[in-house]
Amino acid sequence: MIGSVAIAADGAKQPNVIFILADDMGYSDLGCYGGDIETPNLDKLAAGGLKFTNFYNTARCWPTRGALLSGYYAQQIHRDALPGLGGGGQASRQNWARLLPDYLKPHGYRSYHSGKWHIDGKVLDAGFDRSLDMRNQGNFFTAKGNFEDDKPVTPAADESGYYSTIAVVDHAIDCLKEHSDKYADQPFFHYVAFIAPHFPLHALPEDIAKYRDNYLKGWDKVREERFARQRELGLLHTSLSALEPEVGPPYDFPEAIKKLGPGEINRPLPWTELTDEQRRFQATKMAIHAAMVDRMDHEIGRLVEQLKAMGEYENTLIFFASDNGASAEIMVRHGGHDPSAPMGSAASYLCLGPGFSSAANTPFRRHKTWVHEGGISTPLIVHWPAGIKAKGELRNTPGHVVDIAPTILDAVGVEKPTEWDGEAIPAAPGKSLVPAFGEDVAIDRDFLWWLHEGNRAIRAGDWKLVAAKDDPWELYDLSVDRAESNNLAKQNPEKVKELEALWNQQLEASIELAKKTVKKPAKKK
């Protein structure tokens, strides 16, 4: 037993692990987190397992992915920038900053990757046995630019039936079938990383049709309805954040607004202030976003059915999360945008924008890139019939993607090594969430920490100190105010000073670790 979770009783095979990651999906997009999008397969996993209510990512795609698979804050392993030191999407991890497959392989695990990578280095060099690396993230309707097993993919001559969300699971199922045929005596780890619902908003016409008129009610009404369902589900004890009409996209691309036409708007204004053309344009963008989430859920259902066909469903630990909150970005990249093309088709290039991003992130403030709750909060579903007795229960302990690697190692009974290739492996901040699998207990930790593009935050207990770039610190009591509506900084200056000192302490520690050449351990005599 590890905590209250059975690992491999009666000589049973170690559990398989699947981590499913969405891209730019909001906290409230899933039905089981209060959303209006049809997500029956994820809802079933939640009903048969656990829903974490206070789980966090890093506010951006590449830092989250590095942190998730390593157990370190992205800044510590050069996967996000530090003041005066650099780091980020183009930087490389230290040799000791290994990813999960390297720790699992010596214990008999085979590892597979299907979907987005966005971590430094080649996938197979990181310990994976097979990979579909979807480097083409600008067109959901072609495989052009993708890599399989670190080699360029040759797209089919006729790609009329291609859609990347389906292709992710086609590859995942192919890996699982091969595993069942050739390696059935070994456990597996599978990292399934969808691009959806990241921009460009591309979806199948039949999926868009399901939602085409659903959002004409506007983002104000959608937020209210989602929040009411969240309260009914007992997910949150907070107010609904106010829309911030002055807060637009994190990056300014005025030329994109011109290309997108008069239907586009880059502020979450009251719905009643929009023109009819703007309301239809915005509602259709949200319909495409919903279609992308719906299709992702449908494909996850196919993945689950494959596990059942293999007889591995009961003994597979499945996680689901999003790499950051929904995005307020508005831009036109890659092939550009044809305003005469059907919205959601390959010739269009659309982004969700701050209006419906606010709805997707209900009930929280801000969006992807910010480290207010809207940028960093994600659903976390955990499902494992053989190891978790609880069904449909909530877990309220704060957690972070740095916890995923130690949680998986703990759950499968693997002890992380203390050195790699003769180098000592430094202590990592991630904590195992396994104790919370059995009951709703708090995971003991000093704090959780964030820094991205000058946006910064720290959470210690229920206190959160947060600031957007160049703004003063704000202080919130998250036990009653995850909407970050009541800034308590002026009333509690000592708490601000205390948390700021902690934030700076972690910043300095991260800089030292990122700069440090780890000494080789002394040779044993």
Question: 77 is written with which tokens?
Answer: 């392993």
Handedness of CA 144, 150, 151, 155 (dihedral sign): negative
Residues 436-482 pLDDT 10s: 999 999 999 999 999 999 999 999 999 999 999 999 999 999 999 99
pLDDT of residue 517: 58
Mean pLDDT on 60-70: 98
Residue 5 has pLDDT above 60, yes or no: no
101 in any annotated domain: yes
Parent domain of 93: 15-515
72 in any annotated domain: yes
pLDDT of residue 89: 87
2 in any annotated domain: no
Residue 6 pLDDT class (50, 70, 90 cuts): very low
Residues 249-296 pLDDT 10s: 999 999 999 999 999 999 999 999 999 999 999 999 999 999 999 999
Residue 12 has pLDDT above 80, yes or no: no
48 in any annotated domain: yes
Q: In sequence order, what are the residues at sequence separation of 6 or more whose Cβ sits closer than 8 angstroms to the Cβ of residue 310?
A: 176, 179, 180
235 in any annotated domain: yes
How much of the chain is in helix, strand and coil states, percent to nearest 5? Answer: 35, 15, 50
Q: How far apart are the first and last CA of the chain?
A: 35
4 in any annotated domain: no
Residues 84-114 pLDDT 10s: 888 888 899 999 999 999 999 999 999 999 9
Convert 390-436 into a string of H (helix), E (strand) and C (coil).
CCCEEECCCEEHHHHHHHHHHHHCCCCCCEECCEECCCCCCCCCCHH
Pairing of strands 316-322, 377-383: antiparallel
Under a CB-based contact definition with an 8 Å cutoff, are residues 345 and 202 in contact? yes
Residues 347-369 pLDDT 10s: 999 999 999 999 999 999 999 99
Backbone angles phi, psi at 147, to 5 degrees: -125, 140
CA atoms of 53 and 396, how far apart (whole Å): 5
Residue type at 333 in one-letter notation = R
Mean pLDDT on 42-69: 98
Under a CB-based contact definition with an 8 Å cutoff, are residues 431 and 442 in contact? no
pLDDT of residue 335: 78
Residue 49 has pLDDT above 80, yes or no: yes
Mean pLDDT on 40-49: 98
Which helix or strand (DSSP H or E) is residue 321 part of?
strand 316-322
Greater model confidence, 85 or 432: 432
Under a CB-based contact definition with an 8 Å cutoff, are residues 176 and 310 in contact? yes
pLDDT of residue 525: 42
Residue 10 pLDDT class (50, 70, 90 cuts): very low
521 in any annotated domain: no
CA atoms of 413 and 261, how far apart (whole Å): 55
Residue 384 has pLDDT above 80, yes or no: yes
pLDDT of residue 7: 41
* Number of domains, the chain: 1
pLDDT of residue 515: 85
Residues 489-518 pLDDT 10s: 999 999 999 999 999 999 999 999 998 754
Neighbour-count burial of 83, counting CB atoms closer than 10 A to its CB (0-12 exposed, 13-18 middle, 19+ buried): exposed
pTM reported for the whole predicted model: 0.96
Residue 408 has pLDDT above 90, yes or no: yes
Residue 521 pLDDT class (50, 70, 90 cuts): low
294 in any annotated domain: yes
Q: Measure the CA angle with vertex 136, ends 132 and 142; round to 5°.
A: 90
pLDDT of residue 189: 98
pLDDT of residue 13: 82
CATH of the domain at 169: 3.40.720.10
Residues 182-226 pLDDT 10s: 999 999 999 999 999 999 999 999 999 999 999 999 999 999 999
Q: Give percent above pLDDT 70 in the chain.
A: 96
